[in-house]
Structure 1
Amino acid sequence: MIEVDCLGEICPVPIIRIKENLKSMKSGDSIKVVTDHSCTQQSVMDFFKNKKFKVQCEEVINGVWEITVIKG
């Protein structure tokens, strides 16, 4: 699993960092993005809406989310 620390980063930085890693991903690989901006969650969901990826979001502590993107 690739981990991307986006704490303190605002959109579109998390999307850009995810896109950088997509090129090296194979089917079944995943990326975990850690963010402290709630807007990132929706941005990631929108970006992958019609693509063959599974997206899971979890607020791990108050104000910090882990967003996992799994390539289909």
Structure 2
Amino acid sequence: MNLCKFLDVEFLKPEDVLKKLKISQAKLYRLVKTHQFPPPVKIGTANRWLASDLEAYLSAQIAATRSDTETEASA
């Protein structure tokens, strides 16, 4: 049974995540190590990230940036 087929999960390769975030591999794993970015899912020996985790991370970054900007504007 292919559980991923039923869950409609999209996995991203490390190079896809790096390209979207425009960061180095070292920076990506540093963010994971410091719990600032979701850890990868191990599939065999390969690391893959859930596309939904990347979207949630980016949404949180956007929200944080906007709330910082609003705070500065009201000061």
**TM-score (norm. length: structure 2):** 0.30
**TM-score (norm. length: structure 1):** 0.31
Structure number with the bigger relative contact order (C-alpha 8 A, sep ≥ 6) is 1
Task: Give the number of the structure whose residues are more often strand, by fraction.
Answer: 1
Task: Give the number of the structure whose residues are more often helix, by fraction.
Answer: 2
Structure ID, larger Rg = 2
